[in-house]
């Protein structure tokens, strides 16, 4: 019995040691970004490598915020990420609710058509989107991205899978009491989908915040550029100033870290909702 207990302790210790090693290995690039952003240009190129800066400085952050359009790109990215996330969740929740709780003919066929959109590569749609937005005079407007959030097949699929687990007895009781579909959607169904909504909010925010290709296609003015575009310009104009590049990259990561930290307790539960059969 003692030998078995000792073996279990050894296995558990080895498991946690391996997990700790992998966690430190995964955090190494982030640590390198932080220390590089705190170095001067000379310290970045010094040999041997300074793992801990001898004279840490925030000069990189001061310089990068002094660059034209950098602060504006952060505001543009926040505007797009917040508005697009809200629009995507609102539209997807209504579509998923209709596909699960409001019976109509060919319901499964309509959902199957929605799923076919997930099989189309996003890059294929760039030219049609550009042509449509140009004809609508939205080719150089941040508001053009809002229209693209009216339909998102993955978001609809994810919320539909979660709503299928909600007992129809709640809805039937509400209908008997005289509640309308809009009231049921807002006051009954959505509160029961908090985990899925939180997960979808994280994914939608990340998608909009990190999007590079579509803003590059639709936005031509530098004043309307998002932070991924500005960072790509930064890597071209200041390709030898790694401290500036790391400072810009670190600033772009911080909002995602804060969002995930605040909503991580819902993230795992929300992701498992998509595994429901049917």
Has domain 68-275 been given CATH number 1.10.3720.10? Answer: yes
Distance CA 7, CA 19 (A): 18
Distance CA 102, CA 252 (A): 41
- pLDDT score for 277: 44
* Domains of the chain, residue spans: 2-59, 68-275
From residue 106, how far is each of 8, 12, 110, 111 by CA, in Å?
A: 55, 53, 6, 9
- pLDDT score for 272: 57
- pLDDT score for 170: 86
Residues in the chain: 278
Distance CA 65, CA 71 (A): 6
Question: Cis ω on the peptide bond leading into residue 48 (within 30° of 0)?
Answer: yes
- Helix and strand numbers, DSSP H then E, in the chain: 14, 0
> What's the average pLDDT block by block, 10 residues per block, for the chain (278 residues)?
72 87 88 84 69 80 86 92 93 91 84 83 86 86 86 88 87 86 88 87 90 87 88 74 84 87 70 49
């Amino acid at each position: 019995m003692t030998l078995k207990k000792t073996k279990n302790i050894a296995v558990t210790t080895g498991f946690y040691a391996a997990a700790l090693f992998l966690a430190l290995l995964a955090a190494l690039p982030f640590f390198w970004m932080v220390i590089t952003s705190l170095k001067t240009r000379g310290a970045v190129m010094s040999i041997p490598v300074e793992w801990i800066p001898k004279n840490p400085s925030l000069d990189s952050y001061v310089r990068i915020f002094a660059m034209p359009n950098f602060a504006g790109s952060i505001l543009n990215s926040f505007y797009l990420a917040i508005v697009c996330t809200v629009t995507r969740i609102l539209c997807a929740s209504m579509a998923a609710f209709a596909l699960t709780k409001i019976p109509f003919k060919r319901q499964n066929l309509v959902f199957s058509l929605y799923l076919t959109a997930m099989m189309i590569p996003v890059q294929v749609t760039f030219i049609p989107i550009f042509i449509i937005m140009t004809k609508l005079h939205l080719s150089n407007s941040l508001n053009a991205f809002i229209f693209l959030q009216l339909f998102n097949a993955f978001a609809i699929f994810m919320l539909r899978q979660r709503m299928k687990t909600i007992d129809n007895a709640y809805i039937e009781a509400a209908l008997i009491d005289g509640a309308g579909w809009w009231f049921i959607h807002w006051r009954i169904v959505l509160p029961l989908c908090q985990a899925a909504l939180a997960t979808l909010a994280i994914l939608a925010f990340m998608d909009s915040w990190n999007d590079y290709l579509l803003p590059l296609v639709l936005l031509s003015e530098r004043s309307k550029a998002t932070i991924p575009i500005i960072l790509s310009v930064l890597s071209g104009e200041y390709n030898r100033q790694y401290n500036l590049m790391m400072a810009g990259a670190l600033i772009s990561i911080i909002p995602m870290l804060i969002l995930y930290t605040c909503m991580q307790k819902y993230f795992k539960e929300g992701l498992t909702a998509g595994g429901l059969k049917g």
